[in-house]
């Protein structure tokens, strides 16, 4: 199969032939239909986060099941599926307490005595984030994908696998937004726009989108933002506090930069909660001051939005089919795998929403 290979951080990906193994007992072979281009992949491509090399990035995907192992019970050949990096074992403490996105069970990957899932000749290709989706096929554990309504267009469904699951999960699970509460979303890329849309679905009373790009602020308004603010304005945080008469109940950080994490805390009212979704620099610390603590402000991370993707993703698909979740606005452009480096260049600029790689 053809796949986009990362050999060295900071270098362009190359399209090469990769051998993919047959499904093991709990594994699923998927013909990839579409993959979103996420900033999380860019962190690995640019070397901000380490990963064994060579590897195939990509983790926000949808496709059709081609084959399954003899113990797979959750999907079958012919099913349309969305993948999610939050693979889960189903029996550890995290899983049985409902925190599937925190599962780190090693049995979800192949063991040392088993052949690798991906190879180039005699070279092992390391699977990234349980998926490695910038490829014509994916071989994953059955608990890294979920079947969806076959009526769902797969070039839209793919972005549910990360951007929407993360942004909506932050609203529905991590922040647990109640109807009428105020929400500020810092950063209007794919995850931030999904959070805006989810806040509207959740019945937030006021939704404030903060981004330096006018076009992204316009997209946020289309998706449900009641207010938009230029993130580059000197008084951006103060403007939010003034408009909300003391700050917001929930601030969602969806960029992964130190300044946006700090801004999320500045936006809070007494008792408010800041939820950090973006992948911050590994050495950065986001914190609360003594005065923040005295005001009962809270700061939390939310890996992949604290999702329960086997339940969440089919529901989000239903929201799209009902016209309540607007994925068409989130997706900026579609392109073939051969343009993956162009997609990353556009992501570095930060001017557009979500790009999608499609396979014919």
Q: Are 207 and 225 in contact (CB under 8 A)?
A: yes
Domain with CATH 3.90.180.10 in the chain: 2-161+326-358
Catalytic residues: 38, 40, 43, 59, 162
Mean pLDDT for each consecutive 10-residue tract of the chain (360 residues)? 97 98 98 96 95 98 98 98 97 96 94 94 96 98 98 98 97 97 97 98 98 97 98 96 98 96 97 97 91 96 96 98 96 96 93 90
Please give the pLDDT value at position 352: 77
Q: For the domain bounded by 167-303, which CATH number is listed?
A: 3.40.50.720
Please give the pLDDT value at position 348: 92
Please give the pLDDT value at position 339: 97
| Residue 219: C-alpha distances to residues 117, 330, 332 (Å) | 39, 8, 10
Please give the pLDDT value at position 112: 86
Please give the pLDDT value at position 351: 80
Buried/exposed code over 258-291 (b: 16+ C-beta within 10 A; e: otherwise): eebbbbbbbbbbeebbbbbbbbbeeeeebeeeee
Please give the pLDDT value at position 273: 98
Domain with CATH 3.40.50.720 in the chain: 167-303
Place of tokens 């929400």: 183
Q: For the domain bounded by 2-161+326-358, which CATH number is listed?
A: 3.90.180.10
Please give the pLDDT value at position 360: 80
């Amino acid at each position: 199969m053809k796949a986009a290979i990362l050999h060295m951080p900071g270098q362009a990906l190359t399209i090469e032939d990769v051998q993919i193994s047959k499904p093991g007992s709990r594994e699923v072979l998927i013909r990839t239909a579409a993959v979103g281009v996420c900033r999380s992949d860019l962190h690995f491509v640019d070397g901000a986060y380490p990963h064994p090399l060579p590897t195939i990035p990509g983790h926000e995907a949808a496709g059709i099941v081609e084959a399954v192992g003899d113990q797979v019970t959750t999907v079958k050949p012919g099913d349309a599926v969305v993948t999610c990096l939050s693979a889960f074992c189903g029996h550890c403490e995290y899983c049985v307490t409902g925190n599937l996105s925190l599962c780190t069970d090693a049995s979800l990957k192949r063991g040392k005595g088993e052949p690798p899932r991906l190879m180039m000749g005699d070279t092992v290709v390391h699977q990234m984030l349980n998926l490695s989706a910038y490829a014509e096929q994916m071989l994953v554990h059955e608990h890294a994908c979920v079947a969806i309504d076959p009526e769902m267009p797969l070039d839209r469904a793919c972005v549910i696998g990360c951007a929407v699951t993360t942004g909506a999960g932050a609203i529905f699970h991590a922040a647990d937004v109640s109807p009428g509460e105020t929400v500020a979303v810092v950063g209007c890329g794919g995850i931030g726009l999904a959070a805006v849309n989810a806040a509207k679905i959740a019945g937030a009373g006021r939704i404030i989108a903060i981004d330096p790009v006018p076009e992204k602020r316009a997209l946020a308004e289309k998706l449900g933002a009641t207010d938009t603010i230029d993130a580059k304005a000197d008084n951006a945080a103060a403007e939010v506090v003034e408009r909300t008469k003391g700050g917001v109940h929930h601030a969602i950080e969806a960029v992964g930069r130190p300044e946006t994490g700090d801004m999320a805390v500045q936006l809070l009212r007494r008792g408010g909660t800041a939820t950090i979704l973006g992948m911050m620099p590994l050495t950065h610390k986001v914190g609360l001051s003594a005065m923040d603590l005295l005001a009962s402000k809270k700061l939390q991370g939310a890996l992949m939005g604290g999702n329960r993707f086997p339940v969440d993703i089919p529901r989000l698909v239903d929201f799209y089919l009902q016209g309540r979740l607007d994925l068409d606005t989130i997706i900026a452009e579609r392109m073939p795998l051969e343009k993956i480096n162009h997609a990353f260049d556009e992501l570095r600029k930060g001017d557009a929403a979500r790009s999608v790689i499609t396979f014919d």
